[in-house]
């Protein structure tokens, strides 16, 4: 299956962000992608954290602008679509869930994953605390996307290998073929750790990784690392876009997966 990681430099205008996302999804489909993934916060990079609250949608509202746009794009382009993340309302009006929704080629929603690990960082010059406005999820989620068993994660989740192990070893299911990691890594942390962590998760789980990211200078002054990439189960980077809007394409080769797992059966050797 050909897959695409879409990189964006989203801003505070939801309508403009949706239009750019649709443009790149159409480009991915035109280049033969059967699965395309958008970055975290593709629909909104606000001027302040609280902007998410005003634009949050109710779960499953097919008429809500962001969810409708994702469903329609999947159906009209015939794609498996990983919709980055969008804010979904919770019982607490001061908190939203940062939700990653997957849509099938007929437009139906096939899965929803809520970001479990909430980013906090302060080096004295820049500070972030997602817990101020986000409510953490609690459950790992995988979905069957065509022939691929795909695990869902978001950005800061990448630092927690136990999440990927939990997705790979669900009772009665084969290990994941592919993990998706929509992200908005900061420039500082991304420069240090983004590629290192992606390749580690691919190697230790012997799976492909598709990692669409925010990549550039945003209207709110924040700079994100970008470097959207696709990594194979041996840790080889199949494609990378350092900065700016665009996409990365690669093939998920199930025979490559089988070869890696047969030659080095590490998944069978685990004991803990």
Catalytic positions are 40, 115, 155
Distance of CA 271 to the CA centre of its chain: 29
Mapping DSSP to helix (H, G, I), strand (E, B) and coil, where does residue 128 land? Answer: strand
Length of the chain, please? 272
* Long-range contact set of residues 103-106: C-beta below 8 Å, sequence gap at least 24: 103/70, 103/71, 103/73, 103/74, 103/75, 103/79, 104/74, 104/80, 104/145, 105/74, 105/75, 105/78, 105/79, 105/80, 106/74, 106/75
Both tokens of 44, joined, read: 């909104």
User: Residues 175, 134: contact at Cβ < 8 Å?
Assistant: no
């Amino acid at each position: 299956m050909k897959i695409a990681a879409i990189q964006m430099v989203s801003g505070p205008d939801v309508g403009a962000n949706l239009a750019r996302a649709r443009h790149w999804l159409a480009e991915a489909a035109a280049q033969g992608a059967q699965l395309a993934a958008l970055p975290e916060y593709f629909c909104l990079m606000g001027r302040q954290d609280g902007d998410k609250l005003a634009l949050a949608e109710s779960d499953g509202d097919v008429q809500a602008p962001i969810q409708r746009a994702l469903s329609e794009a999947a159906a009209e382009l015939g794609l498996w679509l990983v919709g980055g993340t969008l804010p979904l309302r919770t019982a607490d009006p001061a908190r939203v869930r940062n939700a990653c929704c997957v849509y099938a080629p007929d437009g139906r929603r096939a899965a929803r994953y809520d970001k479990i690990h909430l980013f906090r960082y302060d080096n004295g010059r820049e500070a972030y605390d997602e817990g101020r406005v986000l409510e953490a999820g609690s459950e790992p989620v995988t979905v069957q996307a065509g022939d691929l068993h795909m695990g869902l994660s978001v950005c800061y989740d990448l630092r927690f290998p136990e999440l990927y192990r939990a997705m790979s070893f669900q009772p009665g299911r084969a290990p994941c073929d592919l993990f998706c990691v929509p992200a908005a890594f900061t420039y500082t942390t991304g420069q240090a750790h983004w590629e290192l962590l992606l390749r580690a998760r691919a190697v230790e789980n012997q799976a492909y990784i598709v990692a669409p990211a925010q990549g550039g200078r945003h209207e709110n002054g924040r700079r994100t690392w970008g470097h959207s990439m696709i990594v194979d189960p041996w840790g080889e980077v199949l494609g990378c876009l350092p900065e700016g809007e665009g996409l990365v394409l690669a093939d998920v080769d199930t025979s490559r997966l089988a070869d890696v797992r047969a030659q080095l059966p590490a998944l069978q050797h685990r004991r803990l």
